[in-house]
Amino acid sequence: MASKKHEYQLLELQYKLAPVYFLAPALILFSIFVIYPIFQTIWISFHEWSGFGPLKWVGIENYKTLFSDSRFYMSLKNNILWLLFMMLAPVIGLTIALFLNQQIRGMKLIKSLFFFPFVINLVVVGLVFSWFYNPDLGLLAELFKLVGLKPIPVLADENLATFGVIFAGLWPQTAYCMILYITGLTSVSPTLIEAGRIDGASGRQMLFHVILPQLRPATIIALTVTVIGALRSFDLIAIMTAGGPWGSSYVLAYHMYDEALFNFKMGYGASIAVVLFLIMTVFIYFFLKNIIKEEK
Amino acid sequence: MFPTPIQRRSVSVRLIYKISLFLVLAFWLLPLIAVISTSIRPGSDISAGNYWGIPSSFAFLENYSEVFNPQRSPMLRYFVNSALITVPAVLVSIFISAMAGFALAIYPFKGRIALYAMFIAGNFIPFQVLMIPVRTMFVNLGLFDTIFGLALFHTAFQTGFATFFLRNFIAELPFSLIESARVEGATEVRIFFTIMIPLLRPALASLGVLLFTFIWNDFFWALTLVQSDKARPITFGLSALKGQWLISYNLIAAGAVVAALPSLLVFFVLQKQFIQGLSFGGVKE
């Protein structure tokens, strides 16, 4: 009898402790390498630090420097440009998704070929687009020569470099949004579409009043991932322009990387990271508010 | 169907559609076509400026064997490094996230929504924000410039997305299965392994494919947490070789194809899982 009771207690205990031991590995790793470093970055941003030796408290000095740093404003401006122009990705993605929403032979293969850019790493994307813009051998230069114009060295032009990089970034991002919309389109109600047709709705009316409202979930995800992608832009800049020419294609992430690892200004780099974090926090806040509301 | 199915249109419209489909596809894949066609050109074409014309000869074997020859380029080393980083990181992070997702979906403990929100929020941040502390920690712990260190970081970082993904999947599963197993006296660990894991199999496959491409394609952490060839993955390796090969564009292109191939293959072969994963998990890292 006693052993039975003992066994029951054990069963009860392992049930009670289940959340602890199931969560522990993920929680420990995630806290050490993701959550804790966020707070460390904030802490470091109030110090002067070269990466070695003790930190020297300087209060908000780094943030003051930030607001008189022309490269910081350039980075901020470019991040805003990234945010704005990357918004073309959901629009073009939806357009291609609608274009491909037909049932003909071989469409499955065609769709998967359209998805390809999303899977390719950005180093390769950056390489290919640098060649595309190359004023001596690139395809863009060939096109310019074809119409009798002098080729423009896009990535070496301070006013164009950022746009050149954003354009390269649009390629994989559009493929991503397109995948989301293609999947979204499969769940659009056919009866509503037929009803619309019978009522004589035009293509435009159908799109804006029947299709788009039903694609709302896909749109929310597409916008979210595009915002995240725009704020994380780094790889393409490192590969294509290294922030140049004369710092004209810097973004916050690149500025932070440069100050911290090449100028050994960890504290200053951290303050740039904090600004980037704060911008993202605004977006995370709205996204989480939605999710938590659904949970409750 | 929207737009109007092409079958309901006239023959000429159908023809125009098919032609334009082909043109748009060719235009869309132009960057990819360019890199593949450059990768099979002989070096003489490149120095003669024949970048876009018909290749003077077919140098597929020469270029790719040059890229893979350990005496001539460290590309093979980079490729192996990438595999050694990616595969364990995907497996471990899926496993621990399945446990965490299970815990967050099944047990009504206090603070579960807060923990869930933490995983999501952590997964959303521009990861560059973590660089300075993570790099310093890596140097102090001897993890800097090691394959193990990079794999460990990816495991930890992807846990955010993976837990979010799997928790949502588990929350949709029928709870009655778990209840009846409990009534029969099964332990929670047993329930997890014998009931939950088999049910999760499709979700685990989708998630695995996604994480594989995310980790394989990483450039930022490779750039900041690694400095020598011994731990350098293929993305960072390719950008380093760009400097070494200078204008041997045919070799760079071959290297680029090699670097892109594993994720393309995984995607192509497991496409169904991949797309299910994206539409289910929704948010990419």
Would you list the DSSP string of A192-207? Answer: HHHHHHHTT--HHHII
Q: Report the residue count for chain A.
A: 296
Instruction: For A285, name the nearest residue in chain B, comparing CA atoms only.
Output: B121
Q: DSSP 3-state assignment of A57?
A: strand
**Hey, is the C-beta of B112 within 8 angstroms of any chain A C-beta?**
yes
Q: Does position A242 have pLDDT exceeding 70, yes or no?
A: yes
Q: Helix count (H) and strand count (E) of chain B?
A: 15, 0
Residues 6+ apart with CB under 8 A from A97: A178, A181, A182, A184, A185
C-beta of residue B252 within 8 angstroms of C-beta of residue A127: yes
Domain for residue A192, yes or no? Answer: yes
- Mean per-residue pLDDT over chain A, rounded: 90
Query: Within a domain: residue A95?
Result: yes
Domain span(s) for CATH 1.10.3720.10 in chain B: 75-281
DSSP string across A238-277: HHHTTT-STTTT--HHHHHHHHHHTS--HHHHHHHHHHHH
Question: In the structure, what pLDDT confidence band is assigned to residue B272 with cuts at 50, 70 and 90?
Answer: confident
The dihedral of CA B18, B24, B27, B32: what is its sign? negative
Considering only CB atoms, A98 lies closest to which of B3, B128, B136, namely: B3
Structure tokens at A251: 């973004």
Rounded Cα–Cα distance for residues B34 and B21 (Å): 19
State the virtual CA torsion across A135, A139, A144, A146 in degrees, nearest 10. Answer: 130
Q: Which of the residues B37, B125, B268, B269 would you substitute to probe the A interface, choosing the one with the greatest number of A C-beta atoms within 10 Å?
A: B125
CA distance A32 to B111: 19
The closest alpha carbon to B233, from B249, B215, B248, belongs to B215
- CA of B177 to nearest chain A CA: how many angstroms apart? 16
Q: Contact A218/A184 with Cβ under 8 angstroms? A: yes
A vs B, Cβ pairs < 8 A, gives 277
More confident residue, B242 or A54: A54
d(CA A259, CA A242): 13
Residue A192 sits in a domain whose CATH number is 1.10.3720.10
Are A25 and B100 in contact (CB < 8 Å)? yes
| Confidence tier at A1 by pLDDT (50, 70, 90) | low
Rounded to the nearest angstrom, the gap between the alpha carbon of residue A178 and the centroid of all alpha carbons in its chain is 15
Q: Is residue A108 part of a domain?
A: yes
Tell which residue, A225, A234, A196, has the closest CA to residue A213: A196
Q: Which of A238, A124, A175 is nearest to B258 (CA)?
A: A124
For residues A256 and A62, give the distance between their C-alpha atoms in angstroms, rounded to a whole number. Answer: 12
Q: What percent of chain A has pLDDT over 90?
A: 56
Q: What integer is the mean pLDDT of B237-245?
A: 81
Instruction: Check CB contact under 8 Å for B126 and A277.
Output: yes
> Residue B147 corresponds to which amino acid?
I
B109 contacts: CB under 8 Å, gap ≥ 6: A19
Q: Is the pLDDT of residue B283 over 50?
A: no
Average pLDDT over residues B203-212: 90
Query: Is there a domain that residue A272 lies in?
Result: no
pLDDT band at B149 (very low <50, low <70, confident <90, very high): very high
Question: In total, how many domains does chain A have?
Answer: 1
**Nearest partner of A255 among A238, A275, A272, judged by Cα:** A272
Q: Residue B280 — pLDDT band, cuts 50, 70, 90? A: low
Cβ–Cβ under 8 Å, residues B129 and A276: yes
Q: What average pLDDT does chain B have?
A: 89
Q: Give CATH for domain B75-281.
A: 1.10.3720.10
Find the mean pLDDT for residues B181-209. 90
Instruction: Give the residue-averaged pLDDT of A141-168.
Output: 90
Q: What is the pLDDT of residues B68-92, one digit of tens each?
A: 888 888 899 999 999 999 999 999 9
The fraction of chain B above a pLDDT of 70, given in percent, is: 97
Higher confidence at residue A194 or residue B196? B196
Structure-block tokens of residue B12: 């000429």
**Residues present in chain B in total:** 285
Q: With cut-offs at 50, 70 and 90, classify the pLDDT of residue B281.
A: low
pLDDT reported for residue B284 = 39
- Assign A120 a pLDDT band (cuts: 50, 70, 90): very high
> Does the residue A260 lie in any domain?
no
Please name the amino acid found at residue B246: L
pLDDT at B45 over 50: yes
| Mean pLDDT, range A30-39, rounded to an integer | 96
Average pLDDT on B199-220 reads 91
Q: Are A50 and A265 in contact (CB under 8 A)?
A: yes
State phi, psi for A47 to the nearest 5 degrees.
Answer: -130, 165
**DSSP secondary structure code for residue A47 in this structure:** E
| Residue A140 lies in domain | 77-251
Asked if residue A2 has pLDDT above 70, the reply is: no
CB contact (8 A) between residue A235 and residue B107: no
Residue B95's contacts (CB-CB under 8 Å, 6 or more residues apart) are none
The beta-carbon neighbor of B31 closest among A101, A114, A171 is A171
Q: Provide the 8-state DSSP code for A188.
A: S
Predicted confidence (pLDDT) at residue A142 exceeds the cutoff of 90 = no
Q: Please tell me the distance from the alpha carbon of residue B164 to that of residue B101, in angstroms, as a whole number.
A: 7
Q: End-to-end CA distance of chain A, in Å?
A: 43
Taking contacts as CB-CB distances below 8 angstroms, the residues of chain B near A101 are: 1-3
- Give the single-character DSSP code of A155: G
Mean pLDDT of B168-172: 88
Q: Which residues of B touch A34 (CB under 8 A)?
A: 122, 125, 130, 156-157, 160
Domain assignment of residue A143, yes or no? yes
